[in-house]
Amino acid sequence: MRLRFRFQTPQSSAIGEAVPEAVALAAAVDRLFSSTLYRPPMLPDVALRVLSLSKSPDVSFNAIVGLVESDPMFAMSVLKIAASPLYAGHTAPRTIQQALLRLGLGTMTDICMEAAITARVFRAPGHEGAMRVLRDHSVAVAHLARAVALRTPGRADAAFTLGLLHEVGQAAGIVALATPAIWPGRADPGRLWSLLASARGPMTEKLVRAWKLPSDVAQGIVGNTNGDDGSRAAVTVADPIAADLGLGLPGEKIDPEALESARESLDLLHSDIRALTSEGKKLLSKVV
């Protein structure tokens, strides 16, 4: 049976039924990605290779350290997050090797993805405010999804990465809106978020294909049935918790049926959701 989760890619008919601007925005993103003058916001190759290597059962710590350190600017961004109050403890790590030994491969992979996403994707001249909202929401959902995953060991291993990437389609849409040759004039601020939400499906697919993500992650983001259902369910549970804590997206509507389906699939009780909300408030105070 296919589980029904909140961030499944909308079908094209749903877009057609939305505001005409949504169809125009989806077409604008098509033009943007096909333009010879445009380069989509790409994840650093190092981050993608770390993500891929982390799935190998026999990967060595030295290989990961060498890979991250091969890009000095990226390594600095990773260390900055690893030294934050959420991870550092009493003493902040001074090297990638120290951070990896202290935090482990799974957490370091999450940190690499967060460094990559926040540095490269959530940027669009003239739309800094919208990108900041989207970035804070995505980072919050990622951390909350990982907290959900900790309560369901082995069933939501990609929750953090999917949480970070579950709204990348909207980031692509904001970039399109910030490109005068693609979208002349400015979008109506009052309709910005509904416009982005209506066209998010095709925009997400475009960006995921451009990034050439590992198949399980890519399928999870676009809602493919072969994706990681456990991780997608964790994101579905985390999303409304982020909204309750003031880090939702403007105008976002939570599907109660999808949320209940996700909660049940992870064997979470309603008391678990309340506990996660309480834990999340403390967690996010150290993150965003």
Instruction: Tell me the per-residue pLDDT of 127-136, one tens digit each, with 9 for 90 and over.
Output: 899 999 999 9
Tens-place pLDDT, residues 14-31: 334 445 777 777 777 677
Residue pair 202/33 in contact by the 8 Å Cβ criterion: no
Residue 11 has a pLDDT of 37
Helix (H, G, I), strand (E, B) or coil at 227: coil
Total Cβ atoms within 10 A of residue 154: 7
Is residue 184's pLDDT more than 90?
no
Structural domains in the chain plus CATH codes: 1-36+126-288 (1.10.3210), 42-120 (no CATH)
Is residue 237's pLDDT more than 80?
yes
Residue pair 227/219 in contact by the 8 Å Cβ criterion: yes
Residue 4 has a pLDDT of 45
Q: Cα 241–246–248 angle (5° rounding)?
A: 65
Total Cβ atoms within 10 A of residue 21: 17
